[in-house]
């Protein structure tokens, strides 16, 4: 048996930070766009928001696939049992919400009668028929799933900072890109 790695692979690190940037941007962007008065800009922004969501869905799937084939670095032995438990639960929640956020958005969009056409080129099939009542339920669901995702991201980031600055372990650093070794 190969020993557990001490760092994430460059692929995992790249996927982590790209998905992080896209999710944080799309959460803020979605919230901003909802508040705009109806205009061509709003229609355009909603399309962009959906395209980014579809991208996140694809990249989150890639991350799950990566995890299926790679052992993840072990958590520090100094962590208390409740901390380990909290770490596992919050990571599981993150993954559930990575999928729940774009999927509820996709369903909402379908029920509202606005098909998602990725990048304006690739039509993504509507999962539901147009239905005003169903669309309203899904709109509210998408809204709360997104707030839940934002909340878990805040917890995740706070925990990473606590590991780095208070516990002074390598939990944050092993997910950071390694600086290029200086040539001798």
Partner 1 sequence: MKSIFLAATLALAALSSAAQQKIIPAQSSIRFVTTQMNVPVEGAFHRFDATVSFDPKHPEATKAEFEVELGSIDLGTDEGDHEAKGKAWLNVAAFPKARFVASSVKSLGGDRYEASGALAIKGATQNVVAPFTLKEANGVRVVEGQFAVKRLQYKIGEGAWAATDTVADEVLVRFKFALPAK
Among the listed residues 33, 83, 29, 92, the one whose alpha carbon sits nearest the alpha carbon of residue 55: 29
Terminal C-alpha separation, the chain: 35
Phi/psi of residue 37, nearest 5 degrees: -70, 150
Site string for partner 1, 106-125 (x = CB under 8 A): ------xxxxxx--xx-x--
Q: What part of residues 37-76 is at the interface with partner 1 (CB under 8 A)?
A: 38-41, 43-44, 47
Q: Alpha-carbon distance 80 to 152, whole Å?
A: 20
Q: Alpha-carbon distance 100 to 57, whole Å?
A: 9
Site string for partner 1, 127-166 (x = CB under 8 A): ---x-x--x-------------------------------
Phi/psi of residue 123, nearest 5 degrees: -70, 130
Q: Are 96 and 51 in contact (CB under 8 A)?
A: no
Nearer to partner 1, 97 or 105 (CB): 105
Q: Residues binding partner 1: what is the number (CB under 8 A)?
A: 19
Q: Is 100 in the site for partner 1 (CB under 8 A)?
A: no
Q: Are 94 and 142 in contact (CB under 8 A)?
A: no
Q: Is 34 in the site for partner 1 (CB under 8 A)?
A: no
Q: Is 88 in the site for partner 1 (CB under 8 A)?
A: no
Q: Is 32 in the site for partner 1 (CB under 8 A)?
A: no
Chain residues that interact with partner 1, rule: CB under 8 A: 38-41, 43-44, 47, 112-117, 120-121, 123, 130, 132, 135
């Amino acid at each position: 048996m190969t020993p557990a790695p001490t760092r994430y692979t460059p692929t995992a690190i790249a996927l982590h930070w790209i998905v992080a940037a896209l999710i944080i941007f799309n959460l803020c962007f979605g919230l901003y766009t909802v508040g705009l008065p109806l205009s061509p800009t709003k229609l355009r922004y909603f399309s962009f928001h959906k395209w980014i969501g579809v991208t996140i869905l694809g990249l989150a799937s890639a991350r799950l696939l990566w995890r299926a084939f790679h052992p993840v670095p072990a958590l520090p032995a100094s962590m208390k049992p409740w901390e380990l438990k909290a770490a596992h639960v919050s990571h599981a929640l993150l993954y559930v919400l990575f999928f729940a956020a774009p999927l509820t958005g996709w369903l909402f969009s379908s029920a509202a009668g606005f098909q998602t056409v990725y990048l304006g080129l690739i039509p993504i099939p509507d999962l539901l028929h147009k239905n005003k009542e169903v669309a309203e339920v899904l709109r509210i669901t998408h809204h709360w799933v997104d707030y839940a995702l934002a909340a878990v991201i805040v917890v995740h980031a706070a925990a990473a900072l606590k590991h780095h600055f208070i516990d002074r372990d390598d939990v944050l650093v092993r997910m950071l890109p390694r600086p290029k070794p200086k040539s001798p």
